[in-house]
Copies of this chain bind each other. A is one copy, B any other.
Amino acid sequence: MMNTALNPITITAYRWVPQLARGLVRDLRVRWALEEAGLPYTVQFCWPPSDQASTEYRQWQPFGQVPAYARDGLELFESGAIVLHIAEQSESLMPTDAAGRARVRTWLFAALNSIEPPVQELAGIDLFHRGEAWTQQRRPQVEEFAKRRLSALSAWLGEREYLVEGRFTAADLLMITVLQILRHTDLVAQYPALKAYCERCEARPAFQKALRDQLADFVEQPPAA
């Protein structure tokens, strides 16, 4: 690739996922960040699904997932790393002082490493393992763990409108997309501070546009591979 600043950003996404996953695929995080930052991008679809397992794609995304990111020869993956990379280039997602940036990064990791693990485990049980015998004993343990973490998050938020720095940042962006994984439950609604926080962030035009664009890119039925 040519190394000029004018090359566009490319991200990868899926052409089709089941309804239960639409709006949750991780490229939404990157699309939202790019909308907040006002950066245009093009989407490269992983299709047919065998593309994800190809040697070529694994050189870019070694785990065969989306999203991956490329611009001017720089190839990245991991939604957290890509959102942080975009945020470092845009004051709309991060303050410019070193201490403020470190605090935003702290909450960005908290979203992905303190909240997402129990949230994702619970969603995995409900969406992908429903009806398996083991889930009857395990699900209450995971829900209890998730509620402990949501309770601590809600206590931190309290009267705060955003997680940190008194403004919307990349940390909120990731936290919201993590909480959305619980949309099939009433867990977030059990914490009024969390519910209001989600509504506040989801009302942002950049989120609405990113979600619309992700949903519009899906085809109804998986085409024959």
Which of A's residues lie within 8 Å of B, judged by CB?
58, 62-65, 74, 76-78, 80-82, 84-85, 99, 102-103, 105-106, 108-110, 112-114, 116-117, 120-121, 132-138, 149, 152-153, 155-156
CA gap between A117 and B109 in the complex, in Å? 14
CA gap between A74 and B104 in the complex, in Å? 12
- The reply to whether A63 and B134 form a contact with Cβ atoms under 8 Å apart is no
Distance from A147 Cβ to chain B, minimum over Cβ atoms (Å): 13
CA gap between A114 and B65 in the complex, in Å? 10
Distance from A139 Cβ to chain B, minimum over Cβ atoms (Å): 9
Known: A81-B108, A110-B77. A63 touches B99 (CB 8 A): no
Contact of A62 (CB < 8 Å), options: B84, B85, B137, B156:
B156
Contact of A109 (CB < 8 Å), options: B78, B155, B156:
B78
Distance from A128 Cβ to chain B, minimum over Cβ atoms (Å): 10
- The reply to whether A81 and B109 form a contact with Cβ atoms under 8 Å apart is yes
- The reply to whether B121 and A132 form a contact with Cβ atoms under 8 Å apart is no
Contact of A117 (CB < 8 Å), options: B77, B117, B135:
B117
List the B side residues contacting A82 at CB < 8 Å.
106
List the B side residues contacting A134 at CB < 8 Å.
133-138
- The reply to whether B63 and A149 form a contact with Cβ atoms under 8 Å apart is yes
What are 5 A-B interface contacts by the 8 Å CB criterion? A63-B149, A74-B99, A81-B105, A81-B109, A113-B116
- The reply to whether B109 and A63 form a contact with Cβ atoms under 8 Å apart is no
Contact of A114 (CB < 8 Å), options: B76, B78, B85, B106:
B78
List the B side residues contacting A84 at CB < 8 Å.
105, 109
List the B side residues contacting A65 at CB < 8 Å.
114
Known: A63-B152, A112-B113, A133-B137. A81 touches B106 (CB 8 A): yes
- The reply to whether A80 and B132 form a contact with Cβ atoms under 8 Å apart is no
- The reply to whether B64 and A152 form a contact with Cβ atoms under 8 Å apart is yes
